[in-house]
Structure 1
Amino acid sequence: MNAGNDATQPLWFYDFVSPFTYLLLEQHEKWPGFDFTFTPVVLNDLYRHWGQSPAYSVPAKRTFLYRHALFRAEQLGIPFKMPPAHPFESIKPLLLATAVQGDIQFVREIFRFIWREGRDPSSDAAFAELCERVGQPDGPELIKNAEVDAQLQRNTADAIKLGVYGVPTFYLNKQLFWGEDALPMVLYCARTPNWLDSKEVKRISNLPSGLAKSRT
């Protein structure tokens, strides 16, 4: 296990519960040519820290979220099948990926099990099958290691320190890029990093709020 993530290197934060993270990973051939460290985090812990409500907690937003994910998959030509229930508990595959420091092939296989085949990885039977598929048949025992859980917590805490508030998130050149639809911006900033230093970008990055902090 690592003590912490190296914030001087490109990082990619993910949680298996996110359909848009799956869609972004399926576009890996379009990513900028950096060696991103794949970093699992607990999305709900990010939400709790920043005081955010999950998108799926609002009924109309939840419906749109699932429709939009399906629409994006169809537009991109990516196989997509929602698992039988969402949200689901993603801690088991997160711990598994943490335990083996999963690379792109490993992480992508887990995402495909969930979002291409429509499987729920939280049940004991499905998780055992997933472990066999990714070559870790001892996975159900492996994730019981306290140090694995501690590493996942460190990953999430480190992400929060960097300002990460959702997944998928690229961390590149000390900047955050959130969402599947942020890929064009990531590519542009990888090619033209001085855009972020432009006068207007700096101005809007430091705008004051026009709302009172509290109302009585």
Structure 2
Amino acid sequence: MAEPIEFFFDFASGYSYFAATEIDELAARHGRSVRWRAFSLGSSFKVTDAKPLTRTPLKAEYAALDWARIARLKGLEFAMPVDHPHAGMPALRGFYWLDAQDPALAVRFAKEVFRHYFAEGLAIDDAAAVAEVARSLGADPSAFVAAVASPELKAKARAAGEDAVGRGVFGAPWLIVDGEPYWGWDRLPMVERKLAETGASEAR
């Protein structure tokens, strides 16, 4: 069996949002699965001394323009969240709480959180608000809120960031395909070509 594609994402990353709408279908076209890995870009920023795009002069205006036009290109709703970016720790911890129970449900949750955040301004820093997304997918919102406040989930979220940095991840989205890293939504065509070439090679 071919190795899963590893997909590292941050809930406050616009480019992660766009990649999240494509990566599963892209992988499936080449007989691959995807291992979704939520993390906080803050873990990488501590190492690289970087800042979020929308809090960096010049880059902020460009990112807002670029995200809006990508959304139009892809036919997605988009509205820059007020006071973006939000750290979104309840969403990050909640992803791993769901992932431990049902990885497929966690992926559905991640996609819904992205959509609600970048289209409707979901308060991803508010556990109760994020719990409503989980509730819409069949999860117990009270259990969700309790879980994301637990020391175990906080430790899991920290470990996810440390693992990402330890593997060289400094941006989002970040994909690892057969050990090779790709940074950014705009690298998805390269990922697809890599998968096609690998598949052709294995078929020979």
TM-score band w.r.t. shorter chain? 0.7 to 0.9
Q: Select 1:23's aligned residue among 18, 43, 49.
A: 18
1:136 aligns with 2:134: no
Provide the TM-score with structure 1 as the length reference.
Answer: 0.79
Displacement after TM superposition at 1:125 (Å): 4.7
* Residue ranges of structure 2 left out of the alignment (5+ in a row): 200-204
Q: Which amino acid aligns with 1:165?
A: F
* Residue ranges of structure 1 left out of the alignment (5+ in a row): 1-7, 195-216
Task: Output the CA distance in 2 between the equivalents of 1:169 and 1:193.
Answer: 19
Q: Select 2:161's aligned residue among 145, 150, 156.
A: 156
Correspondence for 2:202: none
Q: Select 2:115's aligned residue among 103, 112, 117.
A: 112
Runs of 4+ in 1 over 4 A off after TM superposition: none
Correspondence for 1:199: none
Q: Please tell me the root mean square deviation across aligned C-alpha atoms, in Å.
A: 2.0
Q: Are residues 192 and 105 of structure 1, via their aligned partners in 2, closer, same or farther at CA, if it must alter by over 3 Å? A: same
Tell me, yes or no, if the aligned pair for 1:26 and 1:78 is still in contact at 8 Å: no
* Larger of the two Rg values belongs to structure: 1
Q: Select 1:12's aligned residue among 7, 12, 37.
A: 7
Tell me, yes or no, if the aligned pair for 1:114 and 1:121 is still in contact at 8 Å: yes
Correspondence for 2:36: 38
Task: Output the CA distance in 2 between the equivalents of 1:128 and 1:40.
Answer: 17
Displacement after TM superposition at 1:12 (Å): 0.7
Task: Output the CA distance in 2 between the equivalents of 1:136 and 1:61.
Answer: 39
Deviations 1:34-69 (A, max 9, x none): 211111111111111222233223232111101100
Task: Output the CA distance in 2 between the equivalents of 1:21 and 1:35.
Answer: 18
Deviations 1:2-37 (A, max 9, x none): xxxxxx643111111111111111124542232111
Task: Output the CA distance in 1 between the equivalents of 2:76 and 2:159.
Answer: 32
